[in-house]
């Protein structure tokens, strides 16, 4: 029994001394519960909306103030005519536009009912539906308040209109998100084991003594996978278009170029993981387990980022998939041009350069 207790004690010491085991045992559950607890929600908070008030009377101002005071909406902009609605949706600045009809208060007082049009960006049909329901609830609450002092009672009716996805097909949000996740994970995994494989096979020494410079090794490792990943992306796109009837409203060339940029970003991240890892097993675990959770939760694919706590919103900015989902939805569903998505493109390009430069630096350190 003494031997057994001694053996168990030794195992405890080994576990406590191994920082990776301690992180998996205690760190991972904390990280996961915090992520799932705060990020996974179907509620909406601080959603940016625009207002088109054709009446500009005291009643519409009361409703606008009520909406603005709620935690669900943030009035990003007030527009002056309908022609601005599509432009503001294409820029991705707002998720909905509320349109108050002309002579709102006069119509309400004379006809006992007035209309508010709720126009939503339905590229994400679940969020569009939720926004409509929340606006309806606020308007109903306002109607109940004003009816306390009015007989017969007033009615404020809402008319809904969905842009880009009027039938609210969930596949329109599903295909771009799944394409992003597959390209991100598969591309990163493919290159993450490339250098570690050389180390394990013992062929790393050949590379180290060869006249090939570090940046040539890094670029050479990434280059073949670009073509394989392009084929992967093309297959996913073809399935989306021909099987799921996914529309492509924008330029095919722009979509192809943006996809290639994202593929290179993911491959560069994979090669960085490869330079930091000592074994294929570690590289695979980092690229698969380390990337899957953040990519799915913090990319905005399933859960709205605007509803997450501020720290998670900040962290989401370093997830390449977040920016590609914005780009691919904008091109496929809204038909935008490069002038609208240049900022997201520049961020992906900057990430790519950062990953490649850091990979070369780490590779040089190993040579020394």
* pLDDT tens-place string over residues 161-186: 888 888 888 888 888 888 888 888 88
Judging by beta carbons within 10 Å of its beta carbon (0-12, 13-18, 19+), is residue 226 exposed, middle or buried?
middle
Q: Are 57 and 44 a contacting pair, CB within 8 Å?
A: no
Query: Which pLDDT belongs to residue 21?
Result: 67
Sign of the alpha-carbon dihedral angle for 59, 64, 66, 69? negative
- pLDDT, tens only, 26-81: 776 677 777 667 666 677 888 899 999 988 888 899 999 999 888 889 998 889 88
Q: Is the pLDDT of residue 226 over 60?
A: yes
Q: Rounded to whole angstroms, how far apart are CA atoms 29 and 57? A: 53
Distance CA 90, CA 326 (A): 11
Q: Strand 113-121's sheet: what is its strand order?
A: 73-79, 47-53, 96-100, 113-121, 155-163
Residue 254 is predicted with a pLDDT of 94
* Numbers of helices and strands, H then E, in the chain: 17, 5
Mean pLDDT across the chain, nearest whole number?
84
pLDDT band at 273 (very low <50, low <70, confident <90, very high): confident
pLDDT at 120: 92
Residue 258 has pLDDT above 90, yes or no: yes
pLDDT over threshold 50, residue 83? yes
| Range name among 8-22, 116-130, 252-266, 337-351 with the lowest pLDDT average | 8-22
Write the pLDDT tens digit of every residue in 108-120: 888 888 889 999 9
Torsion 313-317-321-325 (CA) sign: positive
Lowest mean pLDDT: which of 185-189, 259-263, 326-330?
A: 185-189
């Amino acid at each position: 029994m003494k031997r057994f207790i001694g053996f168990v004690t030794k195992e405890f010491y080994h576990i406590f001394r191994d920082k990776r085991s301690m992180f998996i045992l205690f760190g991972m559950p904390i990280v996961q519960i915090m992520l799932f607890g705060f990020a996974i929600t179907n509620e909406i908070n601080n959603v940016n909306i625009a207002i088109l008030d054709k009446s500009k009377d005291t009643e519409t101002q009361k409703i606008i103030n009520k909406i603005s005071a709620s935690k669900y909406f943030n009035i990003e902009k007030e527009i002056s005519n309908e022609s601005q609605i599509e432009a503001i949706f294409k820029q991705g600045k707002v998720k909905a536009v509320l349109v108050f009809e002309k002579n709102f208060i006069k119509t309400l007082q004379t006809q006992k009912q007035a209309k508010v049009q709720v126009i939503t960006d339905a590229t994400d049909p679940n969020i569009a539906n939720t926004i409509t329901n929340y606006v309806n609830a606020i308007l109903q609450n306002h109607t109940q308040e004003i009816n306390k002092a009015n007989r017969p009672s007033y009615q404020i009716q809402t008319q809904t209109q969905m842009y880009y996805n009027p039938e609210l097909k969930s596949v329109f949000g599903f295909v771009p998100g799944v394409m992003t996740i597959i390209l991100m994970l598969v591309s990163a995994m493919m290159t993450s084991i490339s250098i570690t494989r050389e180390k394990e096979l013992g062929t790393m020494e050949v590379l180290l003594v060869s006249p090939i410079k570090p940046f040539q090794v890094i670029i050479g490792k990434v280059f073949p996978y670009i073509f394989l990943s392009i084929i992967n992306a093309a297959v996913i796109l073809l399935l989306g278009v021909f099987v799921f009837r996914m529309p492509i409203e924008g330029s095919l060339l722009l979509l192809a170029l943006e996809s290639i940029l994202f593929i290179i970003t993911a491959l560069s991240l994979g090669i960085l993981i490869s330079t930091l890892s000592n074994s294929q097993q570690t590289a695979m675990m980092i690229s698969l387990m380390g990337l899957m959770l953040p990519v799915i939760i913090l990319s905005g694919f399933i859960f709205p980022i605007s509803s997450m706590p501020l720290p998670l919103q900040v962290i989401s900015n370093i997830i390449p998939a977040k920016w590609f989902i914005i780009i691919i939805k904008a091109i496929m569903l809204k038909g935008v041009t490069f002038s609208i998505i240049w900022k997201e493109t520049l961020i992906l390009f900057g990430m790519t350069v950062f990953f490649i430069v850091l990979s070369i630096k780490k590779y040089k350190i190993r040579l020394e």
